[in-house]
Amino acid sequence: MRNIFLFLGLCLTLSLTAQIELQEATLLGNWDDPNLVGSSAYDNTYNDVWGLAIGGREYAVIGSTAGTHFLDVTNPDDIRQMDFVAGGSVGPSIIHRDFHHYGCYLYSVADEGSNSTLQIIDISTLPDSVSVVYDSAETLQQSHNIFIDSLKAKLYCLAAYGGTAGGSALRIYDISEPTTPVYLAEYSNFGGLSVGHVHDAYVHDGLAYLNCGYDGFAMVDFTDPMNPQTLGTMEDYSFSGYNHSGWPSNDGQYYYLGDENHGYPIKVIDVSDPTDLLDIGVLAAPNPELSQTIPHNQIVACNYLYVSYYYDGLMVYDISDPANPLPAYYYDTSNWVFDHSYRGAWGVYPFLPSGNILVSDMQKGLFVIRGPEAECYQQTESVLNCGIVNSTEQPTWVGEIGIFPQPASSAINLQLPQSATTTEAKLRLLNLSGQVIHTFTTTTLNTGNTSLALPTLPNGMYLLDIQAEEWHMTQKVIIQN
């Protein structure tokens, strides 16, 4: 069993508070394809990981030098590849791929390769297969990372290259029509902070946290993408290096920041006042004996901070007190001896309904690890139904339910066929990430029309989720005020 030291301090001061014995998490399954080749730069076969939950099943999406792999992880002891999409560029030149979904579409990019493209993949037909519905370099050829603000239907491309814009530190596309991305603007200066590139970002409802490499950190309001407002910037903080990635706490008061430098710990940043960003403490690496380890990616789900920690595998902190994270669980995905390079755990995804954690290891493939808390997704992400009636015993008339008008403004109507029966149901409106944004008070569906008053929402595409006792369906709703 491993011991860990939690260091908390102010600014550059570190104070040892406790020596805590960590609990080793449980490995549920591992997937690796020995036929794939590693990159010529780091010998990494694999890169980032994403998760999906569709039709009662769970999927991992993992990138490799060959492309994008779709794996059914519903039963982690029997992981199966359901489909594969080859990248535009493949082979040893590829190091990075990144993914994010919007509704029932997965967006996929690579950071290398002269033939790389932006790929948009329809995932609604899983488990049978997936289909590429957009594959072009006309809009975007390469991007180091991407992030989608589902509430605003905006695709953020970080360190982007190609298309009519050439190279961009940060580029934004409108994806209100998911398969037709529309270029909006690009940016390289935030309130006087001039950046060579933005490495990664977290964006929610227009509020962006930007990791700008050696140029620092910025918080920017992109509510109006054509006129963004910089809220605050930070260049100097404890162990400042290559500002790589991070994630805010659930209450939005703190941000967990990682620099991709050997031996640099995760920082806790008080972001409650963006004009006065405060570095309030740091967390030690999982293994204090390995002082040169690097945190790579951080994600918050429920009351936990999940970190893919390169050589040290997965690290999970309890952030019930978000200003004072406590180490809770770990799992080593490899036994690499530190060699001043980049090996081990690359990405982490903790939002599946089962509570299982997905971790991608650069050399060892996909790991499915039992999480500390099930159903965390209810607070963050939810199941995608993709317009499919997903009950095997639903009445035959369920597929004949009409929804109009499309687009809608102040109300939407449900039209049940004459063969239907009066039905009690729970009706909810979801955004394209599956988050519940409105629950309707109407609970009875009668034969004929049932009218539902819509809340005031931005124009765009939403999902109407109908949950009855014997059946469940989701249909797309377009709102245009």
CATH of residue 27: 2.130.10.10
Decide if 386 is inside a domain. no
The residue from 379, 410, 432 where one domain ends is 379
Instruction: Please tell me whether residues 420 and 321 are part of one structural domain.
Output: no
The per-residue pLDDT of the chain, averaged, comes to 87
Instruction: Please tell me whether residues 82 and 227 are part of one structural domain.
Output: yes
Q: Where are the beta strands (DSSP E) in 235-349?
A: 243-248, 254-259, 266-270, 278-283, 297-301, 304-308, 314-318, 326-331, 345-349
The residue from 351, 379, 407 where one domain ends is 379
Decide if 391 is inside a domain. no
Instruction: Please tell me whether residues 410 and 322 are part of one structural domain.
Output: no
| Mean pLDDT, residues 419-431 | 82
At position 319, the amino acid (one-letter code) is I
CATH of residue 418: 2.60.40.1220
Instruction: Please tell me whether residues 353 and 411 are part of one structural domain.
Output: no
Decide if 388 is inside a domain. no
Look at residue 375 in the predicted model and tell me its pLDDT. Answer: 52
Centroid of chain to Cα 249:
15
Instruction: Please tell me whether residues 232 and 366 are part of one structural domain.
Output: yes
Q: Where are the beta strands (DSSP E) in 188-324?
A: 189-190, 193-194, 200-204, 207-211, 217-221, 229-234, 243-248, 254-259, 266-270, 278-283, 297-301, 304-308, 314-318
Instruction: Please tell me whether residues 363 and 406 are part of one structural domain.
Output: no
Instruction: Please tell me whether residues 374 and 401 are part of one structural domain.
Output: no
Torsion of the alpha carbons at 362, 201, 112 and 432, rounded to the nearest 10: 90
List, for residues 233-283, the tens digit of each pLDDT value. 999 999 999 999 999 998 899 999 999 999 999 999 999 999 999 999 998
Decide if 384 is inside a domain. no
Instruction: Please tell me whether residues 351 and 417 are part of one structural domain.
Output: no
Q: Structural domain tally of the chain? A: 2
Among residues 15, 16, 424, the alpha carbon closest in space to that of 5 is found at: 16
Domain that holds residue 441: 396-479
Decide if 390 is inside a domain. no
Decide if 389 is inside a domain. no
Decide if 387 is inside a domain. no
List, for residues 169-216, the tens digit of each pLDDT value. 999 999 999 999 999 999 999 999 999 999 999 999 899 999 999 999
The residue from 379, 408, 425 where one domain ends is 379
Instruction: Please tell me whether residues 215 and 278 are part of one structural domain.
Output: yes
- Predicted model pTM: 0.81
Instruction: Please tell me whether residues 101 and 203 are part of one structural domain.
Output: yes
Model confidence at 21, in pLDDT bands (50, 70, 90)? low
- In the chain, what is the greatest distance between 2 CA atoms, to the nearest angstrom? 72
Instruction: Please tell me whether residues 216 and 310 are part of one structural domain.
Output: yes
Model confidence at 3, in pLDDT bands (50, 70, 90)? very low
Look at residue 475 in the predicted model and tell me its pLDDT. Answer: 78
Decide if 93 is inside a domain. yes
Instruction: Please tell me whether residues 409 and 453 are part of one structural domain.
Output: yes
